[in-house]
């Protein structure tokens, strides 16, 4: 008969028990291995920042910063302007690079547009504002 107690291991079961333990012995674990693997891809953890700036009175300005360099900013701007019925421009900034500016508070619209177009993943969008 086999042993039923949890604290006692029968000699006949000891060989199979030891082989189970050997397979479960943890090896060197690097908790940052996944993070380093994700960062190795070009632009995988680059965030797209969508901000709103208050102008005079009820006027506001939406800026989109951090899109990949290989995208055509003018084509994206053209689609955004047509989709949201607003005006906009592409501005070259010395620190931030190219930034898309749109009239009005278009934060939610721009974020859903970029995700649906497949340009940016939802996790990589940071919406800033009031």
pLDDT digits (tens, 9 = 90+) for 9-57: 555 555 555 555 555 656 666 655 655 555 444 444 689 999 999 999 9
pLDDT given for residue 31 in this prediction = 59
CB 84 within 8 A of CB 102: yes
d(CA 14, CA 107): 64
Confidence of residue 129 (pLDDT cuts 50, 70, 90): confident
Q: What is the mean pLDDT of the chain?
A: 80
Angle, alpha carbons 49-79-110 (nearest 5°): 30
d(CA 49, CA 28): 37
CB 64 within 8 A of CB 48: yes
pLDDT given for residue 21 in this prediction = 55
What is the reported pTM? Answer: 0.64
Residue 7 scores a pLDDT above 60: no
Domains of the chain, each with CATH number or no CATH? 48-127 (3.30.780.10)
Confidence of residue 5 (pLDDT cuts 50, 70, 90): low
**Mean pLDDT score, 101-118:** 95
Residue 6 scores a pLDDT above 50: yes
């Amino acid at each position: 008969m086999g042993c039923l107690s949890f604290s006692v291991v029968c000699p006949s079961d000891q060989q199979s028990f030891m082989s189970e333990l050997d397979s479960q012995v943890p090896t060197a674990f690097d908790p940052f291995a996944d993070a380093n693997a994700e960062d190795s891809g070009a632009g995988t953890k680059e965030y797209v920042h969508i901000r709103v700036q208050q102008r005079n009175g009820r006027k506001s300005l939406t800026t989109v910063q951090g899109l990949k360099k290989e995208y055509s900013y003018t084509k994206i701007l053209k689609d955004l302007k047509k989709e949201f019925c607003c005006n906009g421009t592409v501005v070259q900034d010395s620190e931030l690079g190219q930034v898309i500016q749109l009239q009005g508070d278009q934060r939610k619209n721009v974020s859903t547009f970029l995700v649906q177009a497949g340009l940016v993943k939802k996790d990589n969008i940071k919406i800033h504002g009031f």
